[in-house]
């Protein structure tokens, strides 16, 4: 097993793994309810987003992957995308505006993608803004886990924890906190790693019955120092 930073040449394989993995996380099929009807759109815009995540020019983002040997060759089996814009904020000041791959995607055709429910996309984006209200208390000195997943055939091997610990180690080294928006699929893992729940909300379109819970969570790097002193 190897953990490393993803590069542009990984993109097609990475997208394959993302598309095989993310339907297990409820907000994904909730947003992309027509993905089976429009698979080309689903892949196109997923690839567009991840293409920006792994592009060195988008240096507010880092993608860490785990490779394992499958059929005799190294294969990506788990992935995580991190917002590391704290680096550029420290360099350019608090007025720095982080890169926004989602906005870039929307401006390049994503606004009319056929695989997604536009109202549910808005509801999901609103959940992110609610989390940001909790995270604002920690200022710019934070690293944020944007998305994490493990291929269904490779779960229960600790890959999610390994990827999370990478961000936690960065937080400890750089004097940051680590933040994320958890859904039911990952909440238990994050709690086990020492993340604290800051609140609770629901992804829900007004007038619709279906809703999906989420939790803004934070990990304070001081916890490692405190544990070492005990």
- Dump pLDDT digits (tens) for 12-27: 999 999 999 999 999 9
On whether the CB atoms of residues 88 and 100 are closer than 8 A, the answer is: no
- pTM for the complete prediction? 0.91
DSSP state of 164: H
On whether the CB atoms of residues 125 and 97 are closer than 8 A, the answer is: no
Residue among 54, 80, 76, 81 nearest 66 (CA): 76
Alpha-carbon distance of 106 to 86, in angstroms, equals 24
Residue 219 structure tokens: 């990990």
Averaged pLDDT for residues 223-229: 50
Residue 42 structure tokens: 């689903």
3-state secondary structure of 222: helix
Domains of the chain from N-terminus onward: 2-229 (3.40.630.30)
On whether the CB atoms of residues 4 and 64 are closer than 8 A, the answer is: yes
Residue range 70-91, pLDDT digits in tens: 888 999 999 999 999 999 999 9
């Amino acid at each position: 097993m190897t953990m490393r930073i993803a590069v542009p040449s990984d993109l097609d394989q990475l997208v394959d793994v993302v598309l095989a993995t993310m339907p297990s996380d409820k907000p994904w099929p909730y947003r992309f309810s027509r993905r089976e009807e429009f698979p080309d759109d689903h892949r196109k815009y997923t690839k567009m987003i991840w293409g920006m995540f792994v592009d060195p020019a988008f240096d507010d983002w880092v993608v860490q992957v785990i490779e394992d040997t499958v059929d005799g060759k190294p294969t990506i089996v788990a992935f995580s995308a991190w917002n590391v814009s704290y680096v550029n904020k420290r360099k350019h000041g608090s007025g720095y505006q982080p890169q926004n791959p989602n906005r870039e995607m929307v401006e390049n055709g994503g606004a009319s993608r056929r695989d997604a429910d536009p109202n549910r996309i808005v509801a999901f984006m609103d959940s992110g803004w609610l989390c940001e209200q909790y995270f604002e208390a920690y200022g710019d000195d934070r690293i944020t886990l944007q998305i994490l997943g493990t291929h269904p055939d490779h779960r229960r091997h600790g890959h999610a924890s390994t990827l999370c610990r990478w961000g936690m180690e960065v937080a400890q080294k750089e004097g940051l906190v680590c933040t994320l928006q958890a859904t039911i699929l990952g909440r238990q893992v994050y709690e086990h790693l020492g993340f604290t729940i800051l609140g609770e909300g629901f992804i829900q379109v007004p007038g619709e019955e279906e809703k999906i819970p989420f939790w803004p969570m934070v990990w304070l790097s001081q916890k490692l120092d405190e544990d070492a002193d005990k």
